[in-house]
């Protein structure tokens, strides 16, 4: 079977880190439609993924020119539109997780499929958290709503590759209760 090539779809590299992972239950932002979302942190050293994302943004721009033009006389230049690929060093300078990385915020109204490295469905919610590393299937598309125009990023599916240090400063229950005083507990 021939593989269909979708120029607006990207599968990120295995060193992509997931942050703000709201992938089990949709959340509403500012009273909007509840969505599943994740911030994908991509190391600047992953030039292949970055190049794929830039090419997909360009393809989404070309595909969505009529939508972006709207009732205007011309299509705005891609350089003046809001695009989803952001520089962590510039936009999140105080967050160590975003250092020397780009990031893309992806979301979807429908739940993403979530699998492990062997492509087996992950059911245990504790396996997926902000800080894990994995690949993401994302797609880019043009939007024009309420005067806002640009390229957005949709979330398709996620593949966890390996664990990482949890982000968000919350300690795990295991580390909170791992003390040298364990023997004194029953005394």
Where are the chain's structural domains?
9-168
Residue 143, burial from CB neighbour count under 10 angstroms (0-12, 13-18, 19+): middle
Q: What percent of the chain has pLDDT over 90?
A: 78
pLDDT at residue 37 in the model: 96
Position 46 pLDDT exceeds 80: yes
Query: Which of the four pLDDT bands, split at 50, 70 and 90, describes residue 2?
Result: low
Q: Which pLDDT value is given to residue 175? A: 55
pLDDT band of 34, cuts 50, 70, 90: very high
Q: Does domain 9-168 have CATH number 2.40.50.140?
A: yes
Confidence at 72, pLDDT banded by 50, 70, 90: confident
Q: Are 49 and 85 in contact (CB under 8 A)?
A: no
Whether 97 shows a pLDDT value over 50: the answer reads yes
Instruction: Give the torsion sign (CA, 20, 141, 139, 114).
Output: positive
pLDDT of residue 186: 45
Q: Quick check: 174 pLDDT over 90?
A: no
Of 102-116, 129-143, 156-170, minimum mean pLDDT range: 156-170
Specify the pTM.
0.87
């Amino acid at each position: 079977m021939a593989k269909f090539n979708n120029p607006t779809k990207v599968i990120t590299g295995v060193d992509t880190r997931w942050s703000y992972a709201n992938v089990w239950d949709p959340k509403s932002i500012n009273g909007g439609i509840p969505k599943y979302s994740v911030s994908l942190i991509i190391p600047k050293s992953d030039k292949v993924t970055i190049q794929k994302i830039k090419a997909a943004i360009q393809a989404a721009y070309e595909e969505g020119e009529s939508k972006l033009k709207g009732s205007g006389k011309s299509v705005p230049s891609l350089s003046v539109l809001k695009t989803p690929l952001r520089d962590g060093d510039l936009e999140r300078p105080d967050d160590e997780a975003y250092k020397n990385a780009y990031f893309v915020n992806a979301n979807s109204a429908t739940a993403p499929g979530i699998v492990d490295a062997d492509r087996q469905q992950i059911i245990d919610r504790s396996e997926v958290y902000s800080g894990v590393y994995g690949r993401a299937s994302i797609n880019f598309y043009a939007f024009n709503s309420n005067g806002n125009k640009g390229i957005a990023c949709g979330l398709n599916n996620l593949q966890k590759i390996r664990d990482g240090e949890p982000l968000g400063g919350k300690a795990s229950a295991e580390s909170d209760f791992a003390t040298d005083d364990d023997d004194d507990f029953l005394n």
